[in-house]
Chains A and B, each alone.
Chain A
Amino acid sequence: MTMKKRNLLLSIIAVIVLFGVANFVQLEMDAYIRRIVNLCMIYAIIGLSMNITNGFVGQFALGQAGFMAVGAYVVGIFTVPVAMRPGVFYATPMNPAIINIYMPLGVALIVGGLLAALIAFVIGTPVLRLRGDYLAIATLGFSEIIRIVITNASSITNGALGIKNIPPLNDVRIIFLATLITFILITLLINSSYGRAFKAIREDEIAAEAMGIDLFYHKNLAFMISAFFAGIGGGLYGALLGTVDPKNFLFTLTYNFLLIIVLGGMGSITGSMLGAVIVTAGLEYLRVFDEPLELFGMAIPLFRPGFRMVMFSVLLMFCVLFWRKGIMGTEEFTWDKFVNFCKHPLAYFTKKGAHAE
């Protein structure tokens, strides 16, 4: 059979296997593990969304937390059953214009994503013409503005009290499907002509422009698509937690996704998936360092609350100082490479040696 057919078959098998794993986790594992798996996948979605702008177009944007918040709040506002709303909005009554509007989760997710994309368009117009560091600060600023607006618009968002009683979604299989669809769509986008245009902008803006690529249009497009998926990820996040609170969406949340894409490789889709798993699971696993540790009967004073995040920050520094490429660099996991590896595992390592710079 041809390479293409073989690869497609392998992909389908992989999906079925992974779905089987998801099914297994859903049915057999406890709530704690299920939550971590769900969080891994949601973080993968958002990490991927950030990689579109930061990794593929090369635009350093730090607004993911804000766009997540938009998606999460659309879900929060519109999926809470109408009967329960006065109970949630006990301090400031909910705005009468929206109090009776109910959306099922699927609709709310899409609406959240679209709203985030719209906000990205409005923000993008002035902000995307800025250079690297200015763009970072400006998007950070907007992320904070979104959060500040949410904290203050009490009749719509319940302000600092947050929204409770969101109908939860924690079925691992459903979130797996959402993540899979995101993965497929983004892969298709990056492999299309538009994806190549994005990469051209990253490589050399001036040359890209000379070849007819409208910088403003494409940067804005990437920014909007990134916001769309971040919004969807945020909506899923809100549904997973069952509550949303403006304090969940401080811009420091964006740093998590920065680590994911740096660790996984900025410019690699499969890298971001890997990075999400490592960072999310790692963050959970590192919790053990937040508790006092006893070795040889002695309590080691090093480990107490907060140590986990210190290790996490050190990891980010390590990556950026010594391992900028991350795990995958700009390469992707492909079936061709995998099959070659299986056939000649040793050759993989010597080839790597031969190609060492």
Chain B
Amino acid sequence: MNVLKTNSITMQFGGVIAVNELAIDVNEHEIVALIGPNGAGKTTAFNMITGVYKPTSGTVQYTDVHGKQIDITGKKPSDIAKLGIARTFQNIRLFKELSVYENVMIAKHLHLKSNFLSATLHLPGYNKEQAAAEASVEKLLRSVNLWDLRNEKASALPYGQQRHLEIVRALATEPRLLLLDEPAAGMNPKETEELTAFIRKIRDQYNLTIFLIEHHMDLVMEISDRIYVLDFGMTIAQGDPQSIQNNQRVITAYLGEDEDA
């Protein structure tokens, strides 16, 4: 089943076309990667899908867990999150001054059914919801060994653990589609390996569909079912890892023309 479909979405900032008629399909349980040189428009594409930018033209279609097709073009990011799309950010956007625990608990808020009065008065309905949320958060934090550090400020964590925390926070929103923006940025090969295994694990454990931007080619080739390659806002190739690795245009885009050729 198709989960996400972008229909020729274009993003234009003044005279600059950052993304040009992007057409992407992501199907259920797939891990799809979006790669390309810096400035190719990858994060812009993410931002269009998650509602941070409204596409200049084109539409984004999402199929929710009940099979209902929804046009999410230009919807508010919070509405899109409620529909089941979660994301992480290229430059890590944790709630820096808040604790690890609070960071993840906040991600449970969107599913809260109690209104602010029952929350303030700690009525039984609210307490029940909170208990369930707390249990879920504990499980998530334990899965990345952050439970013992739950009262630390998020900014106090080492870089690698901050990335894990951001992913776990996104998972706490109980998404169907998870968008990861350069999750392995700044990681060494061993950490990248662990992350690769982790991504596979959460995909299986939480029934996720994953769409990721990444520069670490080993991670991308290892984990992706399909890959899209973006350069200057345009798709220059798509296919499975094998065909992308051997694609001349892709190699040129990353490494430049060979002057002697």
A and B touch in the complex (CB under 8 A): yes
Contact surface of A with B, Cβ cutoff 8 Å:
185, 188-189, 192-194, 196-197, 199-200, 203-204, 206-215, 221, 225, 330
Q: Are A192 and B119 in contact (CB under 8 A)?
A: yes
Q: Are A193 and B97 in contact (CB under 8 A)?
A: no
Known: A210-B86, A211-B110. A189 touches B169 (CB 8 A): no
B97–chain A nearest beta-carbon distance, Å: 6
Residue in A185, A188, A200, A330 whose beta carbon sits within 8 Å of that of B106 in the complex: A200
Q: Are A189 and B116 in contact (CB under 8 A)?
A: yes
Contact sample, A vs B, 14 pairs, CB 8 Å cutoff: A192-B120, A193-B112, A194-B119, A194-B120, A196-B102, A199-B102, A199-B106, A200-B95, A200-B109, A208-B106, A209-B76, A209-B81, A212-B81, A212-B110
Give complex CA distance A284, B102 in Å.
Answer: 40
Known: A196-B102, A199-B98, A203-B96. A211 touches B107 (CB 8 A): yes
Q: Are A197 and B93 in contact (CB under 8 A)?
A: no
CB neighbours of B119 from chain A (8 A):
189, 192-194
B94 contacts partner chain A, Cβ-Cβ < 8 Å: yes
Residues in B58-98 with C-beta less than 8 Å from chain A? 76-79, 81-82, 86-87, 89, 93-98
Q: Are A193 and B108 in contact (CB under 8 A)?
A: yes
Interface size class of B (residues with CB under 8 A): 35 or more
B2 contacts partner chain A, Cβ-Cβ < 8 Å: no
B130 contacts partner chain A, Cβ-Cβ < 8 Å: yes
Q: Are B97 and A210 in contact (CB under 8 A)?
A: no
Q: Are B76 and A193 in contact (CB under 8 A)?
A: no
Q: Are A189 and B120 in contact (CB under 8 A)?
A: yes
Known: A197-B106, A199-B102, A208-B106. A214 touches B120 (CB 8 A): no
B43 contacts partner chain A, Cβ-Cβ < 8 Å: no
B50 contacts partner chain A, Cβ-Cβ < 8 Å: yes
A304–chain B nearest beta-carbon distance, Å: 44
Residues in B19-69 with C-beta less than 8 Å from chain A? 50, 52
B84 nearest in chain A by CB position: A212
A215–chain B nearest beta-carbon distance, Å: 7
Give complex CA distance A212, B171 in Å.
Answer: 12
A51–chain B nearest beta-carbon distance, Å: 16
B192–chain A nearest beta-carbon distance, Å: 24
B134–chain A nearest beta-carbon distance, Å: 11
Known: A199-B95, A200-B106. A193 touches B130 (CB 8 A): yes
Q: Are B81 and A211 in contact (CB under 8 A)?
A: yes
Q: Mark B106-150, 1 if CB is under 8 A from A, else 0.
A: 111111101010011110001000100100000000000000000
Q: Are B120 and A200 in contact (CB under 8 A)?
A: no
